[in-house]
Amino acid sequence: MLTLAWPFLLLLLPLPLIFRSKQQKQPQGGHLLLPGASLPSQVTITEKSKQSRKRYWIVWCLLVVACARPLWVGEAIELPSKGRDLMLSVDLSGSMQIEDMVIDGKVVDRFTLIQHVISDFIERRKGDRIGLILFADHAYLQSPLTQDRRSVAQYLKEAQIGLVGKQTAIGEAIALGVKRFDKVEQSNRVLILLTDGSNNAGAISPEQASQIAAQKGITIYTVGVGADVMERRTLFGKERVNPSMDLDESQLQDIAKTTGGQYFRARNTEELEQIYQVIDTLEPVSRDQLSYRPQSELFYWPLALALLASVLSALTQVTLFKVRFKANLRDKAQLAKGGR
C-alpha cells in the first residue's frame, strides 16, 4: 500500500496562501490606465502570470509531498525463527598488510583474503545474526548482531588496515564481544576471532577475557592467519622467511580450549573455509517469530515532477519577459503616435 513516512509535513501545503493573503492586505500604489492603450497586451500578460502562479503552486505541492516521503509498503515477510548468533572479530593491525596469501593465483595481503572468504561466509549465514568487531590498538564495534548480512559485509569491505591502529589488542576484542552478548538471551554466543599476531595492546589480557567468556557461556573459535613460508628478494637473491613468526598459536589455542571452541590455522583460502563446516554443525536457537514489511522509497517521483515543473515555469518566465518587453515597446509607440 501507499503511505507517507512523515504525513505531518502536509500541513505546510497552505503556507504560500498565507503569505499571499498577507501581501494582498498591504496597500499598493495606484496605476494610471489610458483608455484603449495597451489593454490587449495587459490581458495577455495577466493570463500568463496566472498560469505561472499555478505552476508555482504545483511545484510547492510536489516538494511538500516529496518531503513527506511517500513509501510503497509491501506484504509482511516472516523472518527465520531459528538461527545462530555469530560475532566476527577481525584484526586490522599493520601486519595484516603482509602479502603472503593467494587468491585465484594472485598474491594478496592477509586482510584481502579475510575480506574475500568472510564476505562469502556472511552471505551463506541465512537466518543467523551476525555482528562485526574491528580491533588493533583497541577494539571497536562496527556492527551489532543483525540479520542484515548485506550491511555487515559492506562494513567489512569498507574497513582498512591501520584504521584503528597498528598493534593487536586481542583481549579487548574478546571483552567487547562478551559485553555485546550480555544483551542477548537464548543465543549460541559464538565469537570468531581472526588475527595474525599476538596480544601486545589493550587494557585486558586474552587469558582474563577468555575466562570471562567461558563463564558467560561464550564459545570462541580462533583463526591464525598467515603463511608459513614466503620468498622475498634481497641484494643476495631470494630468501625464504617465515612471515608468521609473530603469530602466537599457543595463545590462540588456549583461548579456544578455555571456552570450548577450536583453533584453526589459515595458511590459504581452503583452510580458512574449514570453519564453515564447524559453524554449520551448531544447533540453531529458536527465537520469537518476527516479520517486516519491505519498503520502497517513492519521493524521487514527486521530486522529479517538481523539477520538471520548475523548468517549465522558468521557460514561461522567459517568454513572459519577452511579451512584456514587446508590449512596452508597442505601448510607447502608441503613446508617441497619440502625442503627435
Q: What pLDDT, on a 0 to 100 scale, did the predictor assign at position 196?
A: 87
Is residue 307 within 8 Å of 55, Cβ to Cβ?
A: no
**Widest pairwise Cα distance in the chain:** 112
d(CA 190, CA 88): 9
pLDDT tens, N- to C-terminus, the chain (340 residues): 888 989 999 998 888 877 766 655 555 554 444 444 444 444 455 555 666 677 788 888 999 999 999 998 877 666 555 678 899 999 998 888 888 788 888 888 889 988 888 888 888 888 788 999 999 999 999 999 988 889 999 999 999 887 778 889 999 999 999 998 887 776 778 999 999 888 888 889 999 999 999 999 999 999 988 877 665 565 655 655 556 777 888 999 999 999 999 998 888 888 888 877 787 777 666 555 555 677 888 988 999 998 988 888 778 777 777 777 777 777 677 766 665 5
Q: How far is CA 157 from CA 112, 116, 170, 177, in A?
A: 9, 9, 21, 20
Predicted TM-score of the model (pTM): 0.63
Q: Which three cell numbers stand for residue 175?
A: 571483552
Q: What dihedral angle (degrees, nearest 10) is formed by the CA atoms of 231, 89, 287, 74?
A: -80
d(CA 266, CA 244): 11
Q: What pLDDT, on a 0 to 100 scale, did the predictor assign at position 8?
A: 92
| Triad 280, 185, 89: Cα angle to 5° | 55
Q: What pLDDT, on a 0 to 100 scale, did the predictor assign at position 291?
A: 59
How many C-beta neighbours within 10 Å does residue 295 have?
13
d(CA 287, CA 272): 29
Q: What pLDDT, on a 0 to 100 scale, did the predictor assign at position 30?
A: 47
SS3 299: coil
Q: What pLDDT, on a 0 to 100 scale, did the predictor assign at position 234?
A: 58
Q: Which three cell numbers stand for residue 85?
A: 548468533
166 conformational bin, left if phi > 0, alpha if psi -120 to 50, beta if neither: alpha
Q: What pLDDT, on a 0 to 100 scale, did the predictor assign at position 285?
A: 61
